Structures are given as C-alpha cells and as structure tokens.
Amino acid sequence: MKTRITELFGIEHPIIQGGMHFVGLAEMAAAVSNAGGLGIITGLTQGTPEKLAAEIERCRAMTDKPFGVNLTFLPSVNPPDYPGFVQAIIDGGVKVVETAGNNPQKYLPALKEAGIKVIHKCTAVRHALKAEAIGCDAVSVDGFECGGHPGEDDIPNFILLPRAADELKIPFVASGGMADGRSLVAAMAMGAEGMNMGTRFIATAEAPVHENVKQAIVDASELDTRLVMRPLRNTERVLTNPAVERLLQKEKELGADIKFADIAEEVAGVYPKIMQNGEMEIGAWSCGMVAGLIDDVPTVQVLIDRIMSEADTIIHKRLSGM
C-alpha cells in the first residue's frame, strides 16, 4: 500500500506508532519500524537530551529502518529543555519528528534545515491548517476517541477525518480508535493516507511495559475510559480505576475552583509506577476507547501483517464484490 505517507517517511506500511509516555522506548519504536511501520521514541520520557541521545543510539542498534522521535509541547511552569532535545534529535540523525501539544513553529527551522520531516498531531481542523501553514510535512488527526489528550472540541473521527480531507493539502493519518484492517481501510476511505495507533501498540509482546498494563487493555471494554482534567482544559482520556473515580469525584465537588494541586496525587509522576511496576490503581493513565477492540497481545510483526492482510481482503473481496 503506497501512499504519500509511506513515501514521505520511507516506510513499507502506512502505520505509525504515536509517541507514548513511558511506552515509546527504543524497544517499542524498533519493533514497529522493523515490522514496516514507523516507530516513535517519546522524547520527554527520557528526561534529558543526553538520555534521549542514548535512547536514539539504542534504537538504531535494534533497527536499520526509519524511526521517529515525539516531542510533546506541554504547558508547564518549568519547561523541559526543548532546544536540547531538538539538538539531540538532529545530532542523532533522526529523520522524522512527531510534534504534539502546542504549536511547534519555534523549532521548525532547525528541524527543516537538518532535513527532518515533521508530522504534527492535532485534534482540530483549524490546528491542522495552522500546522500546514507553518510548514509541517504532514499531520496526525486525533479524534475524540483517542487515548491521551483529545482536546476540548469532542469531534469523533467519522466527522473529523472527512473535514480534514476537505481542507488540507498535506497528507494526514487518522489517529484515535484505530485497531485493525477495518480501521485502516475506513481511514483511507475518509481521506487519510495512513493511521496512527497508540493503545493497540501497548498490547503487544514487545511493548516495554508491565504485563498488568497489557492485561488491563485486553480486559477493558469500550465503556471503560473516562475523561479527566476537563475543568483544567487539559482533558485526558484514561482507563477507569479507583484513583480515576476519586479524581472525578474531586472535579465534581470542587467545580470551577479546582487546581492542578488538588488532583496531583492521581496524576503527577504516576506513569513509571504504572508502566514499569504494574501498579494499576495508583493513578490515571491514557487509554483509548479502542481498548474495546483489543483482545490479544500479538507480536508487533503479527499485528501489522494481520492489519495489512485484513485491509487487502476488505478492499479486494468485501468492497469490490458489492
């Protein structure tokens, strides 16, 4: 399947693994790239530019295929060393960067000069158009279904993708709710040229997370995610658990007066405890509604091959026979 996305990134299949905090380590990115997709290391998880440089080296030792680095621009009091991360990416010879969160414009000249392709992840058509206008090469359009931060507009992919197709000139991938060959063909039908998956890639053999995390995704249905931090306009879709329900109760009780400090116990610094130690009830972690479509833990190669063969069957047998 050749699309503008496979051509742009030099990959075999139009499938991208989105950046994921404490999941997007070298093992994850290399497994996806080796299977013909685009694997992505999550920059901020590494903490410092030096550690990111080492992680890029580690990934390069595991794959000779292209892989990317995610840079998430978060609103924060003490911002991470973004210029340092950008330099580590350039020095590491990485050819693709997935940006997310705030506008990446400040860092585009340096990335472009180094010949790096930039795909910006966004949850609204107006943000996608802005990304196109500032010179991003592609966008990842993240619908309301997605695990992580769906934004505040709540537009699901059945509307968002065709809207993006109507407006954008640069290629885009569908993100949020993508799990299988059906997702890929549907995304293509709506104008996307590939798909980005988060949650689905966590439930794979190679994902470098505790088995409890994979099992939680397999056990979850499409009814088991919740939206937290909406009153802070930092909405995140997470898997429910007692800590998440406690957090939601605080949001209800404190209303508009809620501050980040009120919910810090449930969200701050919980990722390593969940992803590495498997302490599933310690706090909130991102998970998409797509968990309802996930009921196994295959290798990444099996998953990607299965998606491509399902897509082929749908296109050449089911649809062409109608």
Residues that bind ligand FMN (CB under 6 A): 18-21, 23, 42, 70, 72, 100, 121, 142, 145-148, 175-178, 196-200, 285-288, 290
Sign of CA dihedral 31, 36, 37, 40: positive
| Rounded Cα distance, 303 and 181, in Å | 10
Residue number, 61 or 268, with CB nearest to ligand FMN? 268
Residue number, 205 or 317, with CB nearest to ligand FMN? 205
The least distance separating ligand FMN from the CB of residue 110, rounded to whole angstroms, comes to 19
The least distance separating ligand FMN from the CB of residue 20, rounded to whole angstroms, comes to 4
> For the chain, how big is the Rg over CA atoms in Å?
19
The least distance separating ligand FMN from the CB of residue 148, rounded to whole angstroms, comes to 3
The least distance separating ligand FMN from the CB of residue 19, rounded to whole angstroms, comes to 4
Strand 39-42 relative to strand 15-17, pairing: unpaired
Sign of CA dihedral 309, 35, 96, 82: positive
Residue number, 6 or 157, with CB nearest to ligand FMN? 157
The least distance separating ligand FMN from the CB of residue 169, rounded to whole angstroms, comes to 22
Residue number, 122 or 248, with CB nearest to ligand FMN? 122
Residue number, 98 or 132, with CB nearest to ligand FMN? 98
Tokens of 100: 């997310």
Residue number, 6 or 45, with CB nearest to ligand FMN? 45
Question: CA angle 51-297-210, nearest 5°?
Answer: 45
The least distance separating ligand FMN from the CB of residue 294, rounded to whole angstroms, comes to 10
- At residue 104, φ and ψ (nearest 5 deg) are -90, 10
What single DSSP character describes residue 147?
Answer: S
Q: What is the largest CA-CA distance in the chain?
A: 57
Residue number, 79 or 321, with CB nearest to ligand FMN? 79
Tokens of 144: 């309301």
Contact indicator for 214, 185 with CB cutoff of 8 Å: no
The least distance separating ligand FMN from the CB of residue 39, rounded to whole angstroms, comes to 12
Tokens of 251: 């949001």
Residue number, 117 or 200, with CB nearest to ligand FMN? 200
The least distance separating ligand FMN from the CB of residue 120, rounded to whole angstroms, comes to 10
- For helices 49-62 and 82-91, the axis angle rounded to 10 degrees is 30
Residue number, 113 or 228, with CB nearest to ligand FMN? 228
Q: Which helix (H) or strand (E) holds 100?
A: strand 96-101
Q: In what order do the strands lie in the sheet with 117-122?
A: 15-17, 195-197, 172-175, 138-142, 117-122, 96-101, 67-73, 39-42
Sign of CA dihedral 252, 253, 255, 261: negative
Contact indicator for 160, 143 with CB cutoff of 8 Å: yes
Query: Cβ-closest residue to ligand FMN?
Result: 198
The least distance separating ligand FMN from the CB of residue 200, rounded to whole angstroms, comes to 6
